[in-house]
Amino acid sequence: MYDVFQTDRLIDLWLTEDIGYCDLTAQLMIEAHETGAFFMNARETLIVAGIDVAARIFKRYDPTLEVSVRVKDGDKVERGTVLLDVSGTARSVLTAERTALNIVQRLSGIANLTEQYAAAVAGTRARLIDTRKTTPGLRMLEKHAVTCGGGLNHRLGLDNGVMIKDNHIAVCGGIAKAVQRARRQLPVLTKLEVECDRLEQVKEALAAGVDVIMLDNMSIEEMARAVDLVSGRVLLEASGGISLATIGAVAKTGVDYISTSKINQAAACVDIGLDEAE
């Protein structure tokens, strides 16, 4: 889920950053009339994310290039799978190559790690969600990659929901007062969530009538007690200190959502290459 218009603006920035005034190597070594055919291939098993963006990079740089996408975002492919074909002016393909590879490697890496986290909570009621801790400028694309890997998106931005955190509570003088202030002008279809790091705060948030309670950096025992306390009256999100080693135990407490920044911040780029067709 990303906007093509916004993506094209990003692509222009990426190409400008990488190319500068010109691709000096391509200009010196490749004649303007020379053509070539190339294919982008997976060099390891991976979840595809961003392949249409990669294709768009080639076309954005040179609309005369022929690009054929062979897979879909969200597909799990094996090593050696061809992801797309690109042919036309050789200078253009090689100039745009690195930018196209960079974005699909990054996004597929996020999708790959997300799949591992989602698998760790399979069979429980918990759903994996992301956070706003994304690479500046790449949020919508990285959140798209999360969905390709089987995760869900939390807030897309600050205007996408109300999240009352500890500093908001401190300024307002307590959870009840903070919720009351927020409710005065809250759009009717907008969710209101409160961050709680103690069971006493969970009770306060519940009494204040919030939609979602975040259990922030609580122990497994505290989370389980919070689930019993709430008893399904509001949704519960567990957050803080979530890793592949801990997420399974957190899911078994009975929370509805588990959020982690790891699926974005700890994701390693996958190995994808561009090779000349024989």
- For the stretch 165-187, pLDDT in tens is 999 999 999 999 999 999 999 99
User: pLDDT for 69-117, tens place per residue?
Assistant: 999 999 999 999 999 999 999 999 999 999 999 999 999 999 999 999 9
User: Strand 235-239 and strand 257-259: pairing?
Assistant: parallel
Distance, C-alpha 56 to centroid of its chain: 19
pLDDT tens profile 253-270:
999 999 999 999 999 999
Q: Above 80 in pLDDT, residue 140?
A: yes
**Residue ranges per structural domain of the chain:** 4-117+268-276, 118-265
Q: Taking residues 53-61, what's their average pLDDT?
A: 98
CB atoms within 10 A of CB 72: 11
Tell me the DSSP string of 92-109: HHHHHHHHHHHHHHHHHH
**CB hemisphere CA count around 173 (13 angstroms):** 3
How far, in whole angstroms, is CA 143 from its chain's centroid?
A: 3
Q: In whole angstroms, what is the distance from residue 210 CA to residue 217 CA?
A: 19
The answer to whether the beta carbons of residues 151 and 258 sit under 8 Å apart is no
Specify the pLDDT at position 1. 61
Q: What is the pLDDT of residue 209?
A: 94
> Each residue of 1-35: pLDDT tens digit?
667 888 999 999 999 999 999 999 999 999 999 99
CB 40 within 8 A of CB 58: no
Structure tokens at 266: 């700890």
The whole model's pTM is what? 0.94
Regarding the domain delimited by 118-265, which CATH topology (the fold level of the hierarchy) does it fall under? Answer: TIM Barrel (3.20.20)
With CA atoms as reference, report the closest residue to 254 among 234, 227, 231: 227
From CA 47, how far away is CA 41, in angstroms rounded? 13
For residue 131, is pLDDT > 80?
Answer: yes
Whether residue 250 is predicted with pLDDT greater than 80 in this model: the reply is yes
Nearest to 210 by CA among 233, 226, 185: 233
Distance from C-alpha of 219 to C-alpha of 255, rounded to nearest angstrom:
13
pLDDT for the residue numbered 5: 84
Q: Tens of pLDDT along 30-49?
A: 999 999 999 999 999 999 99
* pLDDT tens digits, one per residue of 198-237: 999 999 999 999 999 999 999 999 999 999 999 999 999 9
Q: Token match 């009339």: residue? A: 33
Topology of the domain covering 4-117+268-276: Aldehyde Oxidoreductase; domain 3 (3.90.1170)
Q: What residues are annotated to the active site?
A: 98, 133, 165, 195, 216
How many angstroms separate the CA atoms of 109 and 182, rounded? 37
